Amino acid sequence: MKLKTAVLISGNGGNLQALINAANADNNYPAEISLVISNKLDAYGLVRAEKSNIRTSIIDHKRFKTRDGFDHEIHSQLIQNKIDVVCLAGFMRILTPDFVIKWHGRMINIHPSLLPSFRGGNAVRDALDYGVKITGCTVHQVIPEVDSGKILVQRSVEISENDTVDSVADKIHIQEHIAYPEALKKLCSHILANR
């Protein structure tokens, strides 16, 4: 039994690729990546999905007058595609509480810091500026408060003297691509065990 998973992206899709690879590598992986939704037409993650024969959909947020309208369209497509679980992976839109509550316990996000430190859009730079010696990534349940919610998996990286935002981000990406498949497996196994 596999849970149908949608991945929401806005860009490169490195985490999407890690999820696709994990699902392909293991027959017993409890999720299948069934749908990729992007709010950006030129997101490279769409190419990755197409290469793996995964259904894609572009929902341009600029076509909608309100956040509710945009989120309603995403929700409809998730339902139409019988999606069980949602992964936010570099999805650069804040979702409305109404939408988030509908997917409570079934939607996770990846963030490039050890939450609850360094929430927000500049997590890597903020960690570097603060002078922390260890940072990392976190996969967490999505709740209405941004970059909050119960933590499923964290992985750490060390920051050294010569590190830059780019070099730290590169180290974090390597850990993200291990953490996200592990977290999705954990979530799906938990949902399946409690059905």
One-letter-per-residue 3-state SS of the chain: CCEEEEEEECCCCHHHHHHHHHHHHCCCCCEEEEEEEECCCCCHHHHHHHHCCCEEEECCHHHCCCHHHHHHHHHHHHHHCCCCEEEECCCCCCCCHHHHHHCCCCEEEEECCCCCCCCCCCHHHHHHHHCCCEEEEEEEECCCCCCCCCEEEEEEEECCCCCCHHHHHHHHHHHHHHHHHHHHHHHHHHHHHCC
Work out how close the CB of 161 gets to ligand GRF at its nearest, in angstroms, rounded to a whole number: 23
Decide: is 84 part of the binding site for ligand GRF (CB under 6 A). Answer: no
Question: Is 111 known to be catalytic?
Answer: yes
Decide: is 149 part of the binding site for ligand GRF (CB under 6 A). Answer: no
Decide: is 147 part of the binding site for ligand GRF (CB under 6 A). Answer: no
Q: Would you say 72 or 144 has its CB closer to ligand GRF?
A: 144
Stretch that binds ligand GRF, among 11-19, 26-34, 47-55, 154-162 (CB under 6 A): 11-19
Work out how close the CB of 171 gets to ligand GRF at its nearest, in angstroms, rounded to a whole number: 11
Active site residues: 111
